[in-house]
Structure 1
Amino acid sequence: MMKKFLLLSLVCFLITDVLHAQTNAQVSADSIAYQLQRKKINSMLDTRKLRFGQYEQSLNDHTGIFGLQTKNDIRRSNDILMDIVKTDDKIYKELKILLEYRAFQQRQIQSHTKEAESINLGYMSVINKLRHQNELLKAEAQKATEQNQSTRRIFIWVIVFMFASILFLISRKSKVKV
């Protein structure tokens, strides 16, 4: 019984280790994707910052007569501004993806936590069940030992009674002969 318990415990721990290793590998891959997404957004923010600096510079450029802005200056500023707006849109999309990664990671952690809790509860119920079975087996063994002892006592009394009967019969026969 103890061997079965130890074997079951060993198998449970091995399964837990395998699940833990798979979880770590998946979390590591998700973390790498999350870090890559962050780097992508940071590079986009750097690009936006550079473009905004170009926009400010274009607003200060006055190539027209009497230091006024020309249509080309205004168009160039508007083009840079449109690029900034497009970059902002891309940044928002990438941020949304980043937040989805984060939410996905949190859901995974919660599901893994629930799995681990259910596995632990399963182990605990198996252990409790095995303990209960062990107690029942001990009680049955104790009962069997008591029955064995009472059966021995009965056999001993039967043998003593038979021996006494034989002695009585022998002593009676010897009195009859004399």
Structure 2
Amino acid sequence: MRLDVTSSRELTAMFRALKFIEREWLSAWTKEGRQKIEPEWRDQLERSRPNRLQRAVLVRTSRVSLSRNSIRLSAGGTGKLSSGARPRDLARAVEFGQDQGIKTRYYRKDPPVPAPAKHVVTRRTARPVGPKSAKGKVVWPALGRFVPRAAAIATDLFYEILRRVPGVN
């Protein structure tokens, strides 16, 4: 999702000034910005009322990164679940759902006592992620609410850091 920086004088000025700011002050802005924006991002994700699977895959793995020209909000990209699955493999299905008619077939091997045997098991594996939803379930609704808030936090923090620079009023 993109935000037009020309819609606000403060945003435009911040965007232009970030090109010329010294590395030390840019580093302070990115570090402090991440510390302020990340809890807000997680709070917005929680406001989407995620279930246990969505919370494990999307909310707990959410991250924020700042650079001169972007604020990157991500979810579902890092870590592992207790089952051993990687959140990035499940994130798309958890956010947007899946076709509920999908079936998975595999062979199950019985315990060795009394006599081991194999048989085919067919399961519907898309049930936990829910039906398809083009508008998303957790991240996309939170993103719509949060982008203006993230821009405001970043802008306020930028001007706060600018006031700390010696010789700038």
TM over 0.5: no
The structure with the greater share of residues assigned to helix is: 1
TM-score when normalising by structure 1: 0.30
TM-score, L = length of structure 2: 0.31
Greater fraction of residues in strand: 2
